[in-house]
Amino acid sequence: MSEVTTTDLYEVTMALSYLREDMRAPATFSLFVRDLPPGRGFLVAAGLEPALDHLARFRVGRSDVQVFADALRRPAEDLEPLHGLSFDGEVRAVPEGRIVLPGEPLLEVTAPLPQAQLVETYLLCLLCHQTAVASKAARCVLAAAGRTLVDFSLRRTHGPAAGLQAARLGALVGFAGTSNVAAARRYGIPAAGTMAHSYVEAFPSEEAAFRAFARTHPGPVTLLVDTYDTDAGVATAARVLGDLGLGPGCAIRLDSGDLDAQARRARTALDAAGLADVQIIASGGLDEFAVDRLVRGGAPIDAYAVGTKVGTAADAPYLDMAYKLVEYDGRPVMKLSSAKETAPGPKQVFRGPGLRDVIGLANEEPPEGTEPLLRTMMRGGLRTEPPDTLAAARARFEADLAELPDEARRLDGPTAPVPAPSTRLTVLTTVVKHRIEAFRVTPGRPPA
């Protein structure tokens, strides 16, 4: 059994029916977010790299067919048409790190209809979760205003795989490190960590704990100072660091209570002890709102470790993301459901200065002064370029963030830019809608 079986059952039933009906003509599906969650002024495209990896190795094997047959309570022979099905289509997508807006396709798949259908669920799963988390992390970057951010989310994410993704996505938008050792190794992210309260509690005193930790880790150390009394912990840490001649690169960590007030007292104590080079790290249930309050209030905090609320995108843990058929066998199609209408045809997003975007048709010429966002990432089931890097994605994010209007950057009550449809897309939408409505009025007559 392979990851091919990580799908919704109806993808299997539809793909099988398409094959039985010999509906194998090219189909284009568009993946997009209908509306932004409340409190969001933008999204950060993420999840494309693992999506391309999935498509490149996608193949329905004999064991997968058996799994599908068992799920449907049917003989494996009934599902034999699915055996050997692999992805040999084209993918056009927005590269990771680009800022995207509601209604804009993040990805479009063009492939024989059964293939394009069967990959839907896995693609949505990857891009929905990762775009949500990357967007949350990006808001923390805005709040931190240049201060260091570190990912501490692993122990609270929805599974180890989500923890790996959260670490990667934090690095994608500018986090300096992660506590997740596996993610640090896999993605080349600096690993960061301190100690737990349990470590301090295991020793007879804070001082004994701090000295033991420094003996084991003679390089720069970070000491957790709020296990008992924070002010006393800071004084003890200052004494230990001073006695051992440690300073530059070292830090203390505050993990609870009034972080602003504690940081101010800690900074005063450290400076008085001649430890102006020792930094202050804050953690403990932080998100962009808490970081923003501390930064705006002038708290002398050098770095923020964010975890639970960022790794789970706590205030917006999902996106209204859809994967909709927009063309089959050269015929543009669309959905007319109330509040869920889609636009027909393969598309392109044309970006102008200030993220003034136009959603047009894929074969349109870019309007003057714009650039197309979607690039061809796969053709014939193979990647058209080498795998992307976190550094490149981060550079794209930083460039787009610099162009993002102030009203979209706000943490409270942001207003997202609204992309405009091109004239050609508007005309095509009207034509296809009239065609569908005419067919409904005259049942039995096939659409033109």
Q: Rounded distance, CA 401 to CA 395, Å?
A: 10
CA dist., res. 319 & res. 340, Å (int): 14
Locate tokens 């084991």: which residue?
Answer: 216
Given a cut of 70, whether residue 441 has pLDDT beyond it is no
CA distances from 48 to 54, 101, 125, 213 (A): 10, 16, 11, 41
Residues of the chain with CATH 3.20.20.70: 140-311
pLDDT band at 447 (very low <50, low <70, confident <90, very high): low
What CATH number is given for 140-311 in this structure? Answer: 3.20.20.70
Q: How many residues does the chain have?
A: 448
The per-residue pLDDT for 243 is 93
- Grade residue 440 by pLDDT with cuts at 50, 70 and 90: low
User: What's residue 444's pLDDT?
Assistant: 59
pLDDT tens digits, one per residue of 148-181: 999 999 999 999 999 999 999 999 999 999 999 9
> For residues 440 and 416, what is the distance between their CA atoms, to the nearest angstrom?
36
Does 267 score more than 90 pLDDT? yes
Residue 28: the pLDDT is: 98
- What secondary structure does DSSP assign to 73-85, as a single string? TS-GGGGGGGTT-
Q: List, as one string, the DSSP characters of 320-367.
A: -EEEEEEEETTEE-----TT-----S-EEEEEEGGGEEEEEETTSPPP
Type and span of the H or E element at 150 = strand 148-151
pLDDT per residue as tens digits for the range 99-118: 999 999 999 999 999 999 99
Query: Is residue 403 classed as helix, strand or coil in its secondary structure?
Result: helix
Taking only the tens place, the pLDDT of each residue in 195-241 is 999 999 999 999 999 999 999 998 899 999 999 999 999 999 999 99
Between helix 120-144 and helix 160-173 the angle, nearest 10°, is 50
Which residues, 6 or more positions from 97, have their beta carbon under 8 angstroms from its beta carbon?
44, 45, 46, 172, 173, 392, 393, 394, 395, 396, 397, 400
Q: What is the pTM of this model?
A: 0.94
Handedness of CA 422, 423, 424, 428 (dihedral sign): positive
Q: What digits encode the pLDDT tens for the residues 321-375? A: 999 999 999 999 999 887 788 999 999 999 999 999 999 999 999 999 999 999 9
Best CA proximity match to 131, nearest among 194, 51, 195: 51
Pairing of strands 382-383, 375-379: antiparallel
**Average pLDDT of the chain, as a whole number:** 95
- Quote the percentage of the chain above a pLDDT of 70: 98
More confident residue, 409 or 444: 409
Q: How many CA atoms lie within 13 A of 404 on its CB side?
A: 27
Reported as a pLDDT band with limits 50, 70 and 90, residue 443 is low
CB 219 within 8 A of CB 249: yes
Q: Where in the chain is the domain with CATH 3.20.140.10?
A: 3-133+319-441
Please state which architecture CATH assigns to domain 3-133+319-441. Alpha-Beta Barrel (3.20)
Q: Which amino acid is at 165?
A: Q
Rg (alpha carbons) of the chain, rounded to whole number: 26
Tokens 């004994």 belong to 208
Residue corresponding to tokens 């933008």:
42
| pLDDT one-digit tens code per residue, 117-153 | 999 999 999 999 999 999 999 999 999 999 999 999 9
Paired tokens of 407: 């009203």
